[in-house]
Amino acid sequence: MLVDSLIESRRTQIDKRRMAILPGVILVHVIVAVVLVISSIWQVNYLEEAPINIALVASAPPPPPAAAKAKAAETQTKTTPPPTNTNVTPIAIPDFTPQVLTTVESAGGDDYGVEGGVDWGGVGLDQGGVLGGVPGGVAVPRPPEPDQGPVIVGGDVQAPQRLTELVPVYTEPARKARIEGIVILQLTISRNGDVIDVKVLKGLPMGLADAAVDAARRQKFKPAYRASTGKPVDCLYTITVQFRIS
């Protein structure tokens, strides 16, 4: 019994030692495993990427247009045969004599033509002239055409002159509203000096434009005339009527 108890106690001590050593052994295995994993990661060799060879091939540039045109012209010159001269001396001599035409001059001369004249000439007519013209004469200027409506004053057309005073009526509404300004009118004046038409180019409110038109229609003018002929003409004439409260 004593021997068995001693053996049993011995086994119990051995098991206690093993149990005490077991955590340390496990920790050592874990440390070794971690070290192996880390060392394997450090020793990994990355494969280098193979270089890519790129070759750029450029085509030849097209010839400039000038060079192409010059080359085309040169080719055309080479291919075009030189012109042949058709006016050459005949090899065979003709066996006839060409006839020479002669003119017969009359004793008294020709009354209907002269040497070097034209076939459509006649008595009293000169080349390029008119019937009844005088050799060496001067051209008569054409009379001016009559005016087709009123003309604008300026240049050859002299301005008309006012013979009566222009006195417009200041309307009462415009006077109360104290409206002032100018009215611009375009008058059509006949060759008799009368105002036959009035056009308002710039007006004023409250009846002032109508008052200016009425005053302009009562005007009398010395008519406009052309300086070249001295004749009166119908004309267009612009006037300004001023309204001011005194």
Tokens 């012109």 locate to 83
Tokens 């790129």 locate to 54
Q: What is the pLDDT of residues 106-122, one digit of tens each?
A: 444 444 454 555 444 44
**For residues 135 and 125, what is the distance between their CA atoms, to the nearest angstrom?**
9
Whole-number average pLDDT of the chain? 75
Nearest to residue 195, comparing CAs of 176, 220, 215, 214? 220
Torsion sign (Cα): 158, 229, 188, 221: positive
Query: What pLDDT, on the 0 to 100 scale, is given for residue 20?
Result: 77
Nearest to residue 125, comparing CAs of 139, 112, 108, 138? 112
Q: In what helix (H) or strand (E) does residue 73 lie, and over which residues does it extend?
A: helix 65-79
Judge whether 163 lies within some domain: yes
Mean pLDDT of 144-156: 80
- pTM as predicted: 0.42
| CATH number of the domain encompassing residue 177 | 3.30.2420.10
Number of domains in the chain: 1
Judge whether 236 lies within some domain: yes
Q: What is the pLDDT of residues 20-29, one digit of tens each?
A: 788 888 888 8
Q: Looking at the chain, how many residues does it have?
A: 246
Q: What is the pLDDT of residues 15-55, one digit of tens each?
A: 777 777 888 888 888 898 888 888 777 765 655 666 666 66
CB under 8 Å to 150, separation ≥6 — which residues? 188, 189, 233, 234, 235, 236
Judge whether 181 lies within some domain: yes
92 or 72: which leads in pLDDT = 72
The count of C-alpha atoms lying within 13 angstroms of the C-alpha of 237, restricted to the half-sphere facing its C-beta, is 29
**For residues 192 and 228, what is the distance between their CA atoms, to the nearest angstrom?**
19
Judge whether 169 lies within some domain: yes
- Is residue 213 pLDDT above 70, yes or no? yes
Q: Report whether 200 contacts 183 (CB < 8 A).
A: yes
Judge whether 50 lies within some domain: no
Query: What pLDDT, on the 0 to 100 scale, is given for residue 123?
Result: 46
Judge whether 29 lies within some domain: no
How many CB atoms are closer than 10 A to CB 191?
16
Mean pLDDT of 137-159: 75
Domain of 219 in residue numbering reads as 151-243
CA 149 to chain centroid: 37
Nearest to residue 218, comparing CAs of 183, 194, 242? 194
Query: What pLDDT, on the 0 to 100 scale, is given for residue 46?
Result: 55
Judge whether 208 lies within some domain: yes
**For residues 157 and 234, what is the distance between their CA atoms, to the nearest angstrom?**
10
Judge whether 104 lies within some domain: no
- Is residue 204 pLDDT above 50, yes or no? yes
**For residues 151 and 133, what is the distance between their CA atoms, to the nearest angstrom?**
36
